[in-house]
Chain A
Amino acid sequence: MKVSLTSISILALSASIATAETTISYMSWSPDQLELEMPVIAEFEAANPGVTVEVQAMPPSDYWPKLSALAAAGDLPDVFMMSSGFVDSWGLAGNLADLAPLAEGTDLGAYFEGSLTPGMVNGTMVAFPQNWVAPVLYYNKDMFDAAGLDYPDADMTWDEFRAAAKALTTEDVFGYWVYGRYAHVDTWVYRNGGRYLTDDKSGIELNAAAVNTLQFLSDLIAVDNVAPQPQEMEGIRQQDVFPLGMAAMWVDGSWNIDNVRNVADPSMNWGIAQVPMGPDATADTAAAYAWADMLSVSETSENKDLAWDFIQTLVGGERSAADFPGGKVPAYRAIAESDEWLERGSQPANKELILEIGAQTVYSGFSENWSTWRGYGAEGQAGLNGELDEVFNGRKSLDDAIAAFTAYGNEVLAR
C-alpha cells in the first residue's frame, strides 16, 4: 500500500512537471529558411529544459492570410516573421509587443543599425531584424570590357550611367533593363533624394527629386532606347533578363545574387555596384534603400521573455553564414563580416559592398498599407507599379501617371 502511494505521488509529480512545460509557437513564411533554422531551434530547446518550440512554415501567399486569421482570433504565435512592408500596419494595430524592455541587456550594436530601423513604429521597436537585403546594380563585366568601359563604381553619375548604357546597347543586348517594381525603381528614387510620402507618412506627395528620377528611368526606355519596354520581355522572368545576357546592367535586390549564379552561364563575368547617386541628392536627402526580414513577438504572448530569447537564438551569433545564402545579409554584423559569408572565391567578388550600403542612412519608404499603394504581392499590378508599367510601356505620360497614382495612394492611406 505504501509503495502504491509513492507511485501515485511520483505520477502526480510527473504530471505536474508535464503541465509546467512551456511551449513557444513560431511561424515562418519560408519553409526553406525554417529547415536551416532547425538545428539552432533544437539547441534552444536543449538549453531550456521544459521548453518546446512548435514550428510551422508556409509560403507567403498562405502565411499572411493565416497570420491575420490568427490575429483576429487572438491566437497569434509567440514569435512570427514580420515583413518590413507590413510592420507599420501590424504595429499600429497593437498586435506586436514592444521589444525594448525585452531587449534590455542585448547588445544592439552587434546588429546593423540600418536593419533595426524598419522595426520601429512611432519610436517603439516592434520587430527585430533577422536578415536584410538591399538593391544593387548588377553589371556584366564581359560587356563592359568589350565596350572598353570602366566598371560602375560609387562615383558614377547618372550622365555617365546613361552614356555607358548607350555604349553597351547593341542589336542583341540592351544597356539596361528597367522593371517598375519597388526594388528596381525606389532605390534610384531614394539615391536621388526622392520621396513618395510626406514626412509623417500620411499622404502621397512626390517631391521634385522623385519625379526627376522617374523621368530619368522613363527616358532610358523612350528617349535613349537603351532599355526595352517591360511588355517586350513578357514571358521571361524579369530576374532572368540580366543573367541570360540580354541586358548589360540591371538593378534589383541583393537576394538575386543566387539567381544570377544559377541562371548565368558560368563563364559570364559579372559584378555588383552601388546604384549611382542622383544629381538632385544632397547629403541630407540621399538615402540607401534596404529592408529587413524581421521577427516579432505577439502582444498576447504569455512568454515574452522566452520569446525574446528565442528570437536572439534565431538572429544572433549562433547562426552560421551558410544559413544566409547569396545576398541575404545576416543582421548580426559578425556573421555578415565573416569571410564565409563574403564568399571571396565566388561572383560577385565584392559582396562587402552590400554591407557598405547597410552602413549608410537607410530610407525604406514603408508606411501603413504600403503593399496596396506601392503595389506588392497580390497587388503587384496595382498602385505605383500599374502606373509605372503604363509609363514604361509608352502608353501614359509620367504626369498623368503620377496624378493617378497620387489620387489612388492618398485614398488608400486615408482608409
Chain B
Amino acid sequence: MIFRHYQKKHLWPLAFLLPTIIGLLVFRLIPIFWSFALSFMDWQIFDTATFAGLDNYIYIFQSVTTLQILRVTFLFMLMYVPGAVLLALALAVILNSGLRGAAFFRGAFFLPYITSTVAVVLVWRWIFSTRFGLLNNALDYIGIEQNPAWLADPAYALPAVAIVSIWKDAGFYMLLLLAGLQTINNEYYEAARVDGATRWRRFIDITVPLLSRSLFFVLIIAMIRSTQTFEITYSLTEGGPNGATTTLAFAIYQRAFVDFDMGLAAALSYVLCVILGFLTLVQFWLRRRWVHE
C-alpha cells in the first residue's frame, strides 16, 4: 500500500521526466563536466589523450593571439549589444505607438532573424564588396570616393560583422521589448500627458523604468549572444582579415574543428564561460541601480 502510494507520488512523475532528464544528462551535464576534464588534457582528436595539467590554460595566457582575440570579443560586444538593443528599442517603441501597418512591419523587422544566415551573408557580401558593392557605390554617389574595403580591412571588418549581426537579431529583441511595452498601462501616459510631460519625458520617466525588466533580460541575452556569434563571422569574414573578426567563439571553433585540438578548445570554452559569468554577475549587480522591480 505504501509502495503503491510512493509509486504514484514519485515514480510516475519521474517516468515522465525521464526523457528530459536523460537528454539533460547526455547532452548537457555530461558534456559540461567532460569538457572541463578535457581542458586539462592534451588531445588532438585523432591522437591519444594525455593529462596535461594546466598546460592548456598556461598556453592561452601566454599565446601571442589571446590578447587580440579577447580585444575583438569585447569590441564586438561593445558594438553589438548597444547597437542591437537600441535599434530594437526604437523599433519596438515606434511599432507600439499605433503606427498603421504595424503588424506588417513587425513581421518585416523579424524576418532577418529567421532567414538563413548563409543566404543573408551572400547578399551582405555583395553589399560590402570593395569595387562592386552597393554600399561603396552609394558612398561614391554622395561624394565619398575613399571607399573602405569593408571585409578586407581590419578597421572595417568587425564593424561590418556587427552591422550584419545587429540587422539580423534586432527583430528578435524588438519582439521581446514590444511584449514588455504592451504590458505598460496606458493610463500612466495619459496622466503624464495631462501633466504636460513631453514625449521624451514620457519615454524616460515611464517607458524606460516600466520596461527595465524586459530591457535587462534583453541586455543579458544580447551580451551572451554577442560572445556566441559564429555563423555570420564564419561565412562573412572567416575570422579575418588577419584575425580582426576572430572572437573567442570563433577561436574555439578553429581550435576544435580545424586544428582538432580538443583540450585547448575546451580550455578556451571555460575562459569564455568565466568571462560571461563575470559579466552576468556585473549586470545583476547593476540591476539594483536601474531595474524597476
Contact = CB atoms under 8 A, between A and B. Distances in A.
Interface of A: 64-65, 67-69, 71-72, 89-90, 93-95, 230-236, 369, 371-372, 377-382, 385-387, 389-390, 393, 395, 404, 407-408, 411, 415
Given A71-B45, A90-B46, A233-B131, A378 B261 contact: no
Counting chain B CB atoms within 10 Å of each CB, the highest count among A71, A90, A379 belongs to A379
Nearest to B151: A234
A393 B152 contact: yes
A236 B240 contact: no
11 contacts: A72-B46, A89-B44, A93-B48, A231-B130, A232-B131, A379-B258, A379-B259, A381-B241, A389-B240, A404-B64, A411-B65
Nearest to A230: B152
Interface string B17-54: 00000000000000000000000000011111000000
B231 to A, nearest CB: 13
A126 to B, nearest CB: 13
Interface in B133-150: 133, 149-150
Nearest to B43: A72
A233 B152 CA distance: 10
Contacts of B150: 234
A14 B63 CA distance: 62
A381 B239 contact: yes
A61 to B, nearest CB: 9
B273 to A, nearest CB: 22
Task: Tell me the dominant secondary structure on chain B's binding face.
Answer: loop
B149 A232 contact: yes
A298 to B, nearest CB: 11
Contacts of A385: 240
A379 B254 contact: yes
Contacts of B151: 234
Contacts of A72: 45-46
Interface in B239-288: 239-243, 246, 253-254, 257-261, 264
Contacts of B203: none
B73 interface: no
Interface of B: 44-48, 59, 63-65, 125-126, 128-133, 149-154, 234, 237-243, 246, 253-254, 257-261, 264
Task: Tell me the dominant secondary structure on chain A's binding face.
Answer: helix
Counting chain A CB atoms within 10 Å of each CB, the highest count among B46, B129, B132 belongs to B46
Contact of B65 (A234, A369, A408): A408
Nearest to B148: A231
Contact of A407 (B64, B133, B154, B234): B64
Contacts of A71: 45-46
Contact of B131 (A68, A236, A389): A236
A411 B240 CA distance: 19
A232 B243 contact: no
Contacts of B45: 68-69, 71-72
A178 B125 CA distance: 21
Can you list the 3 inter-chain pairs with the closest CB atoms, starting with the nearest?
Answer: A381-B240, A235-B129, A386-B242
A72 B64 CA distance: 29
Contacts of B63: 411
B125 A235 contact: yes
A93 B242 contact: no
Contacts of A64: 257-258, 260
A72 B257 CA distance: 13
Contacts of B239: 378-379, 381-382
B287 to A, nearest CB: 38
A72 B44 CA distance: 9
Nearest to A72: B45
B243 A233 contact: no
A377 B258 contact: yes
Contacts of A65: 257, 260
